[in-house]
Amino acid sequence: LSRLLRRRTKLPAYNSVDDAVSLLRHAKNIIVLSGAGISTSCGIPDFRSANGLYAQIQEDGEYDLSDPQEMFDIRYFREQPEVFYSFAKQIYPSNFVPSPCHRWIKLLEDRGKLLRNYTQNIDTLETLAGVQNVLQCHGSFATASCLRCRRRVPGTDIEGEIMRQEVPKCSVCRAEREAARAYEKSASAKGKPKVKGGMIWGDEEEEENEWGGGEPGIMKPDITFFGQALDSKFDECLFKDREKVDLLVIIGTSLKVAPVSEVCTHIPHSIPQIFINLTPVAHVQPDICLLGDADTIVTYLSDRLGWSIPPPPSASAK
């Protein structure tokens, strides 16, 4: 569409690698829209590739799912959190090292060219690479929240449970439940009325109370599941950035998950788009399509520009 509109409105046509190099050289406000394909070389599978997580989940057959996407569906999670937690350690960011792509985004930022990196990834590798202006559109494992009382804690608080494949429960809800039990005990001993809701828990045998149940809340990493809305920051940033952006670079994504995939259509059609991916994506028509391994492509582009991609954080620390 972008290419068609560009032709119709007689804007300059871009279609070659030389054009990509020139656009990168001159751009000052680049939006990088990235996806799971920039982390596959770090050892984190994407969703939809032939060897991706969906294929693995289906092949394993050990999970009670009618569709692999249910693994990341909020309704399913509420019903059966143990399924997600039996799997979560496989995608928990632990000893991964940022790829050349993550470091290339950092390079754009260091050169004052990055307007913002909209990442769909939840692995926080952009941050580890040192990128400051990154929006984790689908959240991350950096924090976790209680589904009942909404208390937010650092993600490391539930790391132990994730590694042991257990369902983490909220310590605040648990403490309140214990306080409520103690209160109930002393209240009934002294003949006082029982208190329900608020900070005090209801009757043990009640299935549903003001908190939505008798058990402490389930903790969920603050990653956006299917069926959950994105943080309002996404719309706010896009609204602001669409006024300034002068180049869109899309890397390592199938562009199948809305609303992030819609960034391409939400920015003005006069803005050139470069798409870097292993496989083509039929439903978008970027100006320049560079198909292949993303690390190889960004390294090639950097070489052509005479820029050098910074080393991984561990190597630079040595």
Residues of this chain that interact with ligand CNA (CB under 6 A) are 35-37, 39-41, 44, 46-49, 52-53, 120-123, 138, 252-254, 256-257, 277-279, 293-294
Q: 104 with 32: CB under 8 angstroms?
A: no
Contacts with 145 (C-beta within 8 Å, 6 or more apart), sequence order: 151, 152, 153, 219, 220, 222
b/e sequence 19-37, b meaning 16+ C-beta within 10 Å: bbbebbeebebbbbbbbbb
Q: Is 146 annotated as a binding residue?
A: yes
Please name the amino acid found at residue 120: Q
Rounded Cα distance, 37 and 34, in Å: 8
Q: Which is nearer to ligand CNA, 203 or 235 (CB)?
A: 235
Concatenated DSSP letters for 140-160? EEEEEEETTT--EEEGGGGHH
User: What's the min distance (Å) between Cβ of 285 and ligand CNA?
Assistant: 16
Which whole-number Å values give the CA distances from 219 to 100, 167, 215, in the listed order? 33, 8, 12
User: 170 among the known binding-site residues?
Assistant: yes
Per the document, the length of the chain is 318
**Measured from the CB atom, is 214 or 312 closer to ligand CNA?**
312
In the bound complex, what is the minimum distance in angstroms from residue 222's beta carbon to ligand CNA?
A: 12
| Spatial distance between the Cα atoms of 24 and 298, rounded to a whole number of angstroms | 11
Residue linked to tokens 């820029």 = 307
Minimum CB distance to ligand CNA, residue 287 (Å): 18
User: Residue 8 carries which side chain, given as an amino acid letter?
Assistant: R
Find the Cα–Cα–Cα–Cα dihedral 83, 84, 85, 91, rounded to 10°.
140
* In the complex, minimum distance from the CB of residue 228 to ligand CNA, in angstroms, rounded to a whole number: 11
Rounded Cα–Cα distance for residues 309 and 195 (Å): 61
Residue with smaller CB distance to ligand CNA, 2 or 127: 127
269 is catalytic: no
Give Cβ neighbours of residue 171 (< 8 Å, ≥ 6 apart).
216
* CB-nearer residue toward ligand CNA: 180 or 276: 276
Please tell me whether 173 is known to bind a ligand. Answer: yes
Catalytic residue among 26, 138, 266, 269: 138
Provide, rounded to whole angstroms, the least separation between the CB of residue 65 and ligand CNA.
16
Evaluate the CA torsion angle 131, 318, 97, 164 in order and state its sign: negative
Nearer to ligand CNA, 40 or 176 (CB): 40
Q: Cβ closer to ligand CNA: 246 or 295?
A: 295
Residue 50: CB minimum distance to ligand CNA, A: 9
Residue ranges at the known binding site for Zn(2+): 146, 149, 170, 173
Q: Which residues sit in the known binding site?
A: 146, 149, 170, 173
Which residues participate in catalysis according to the annotation?
138
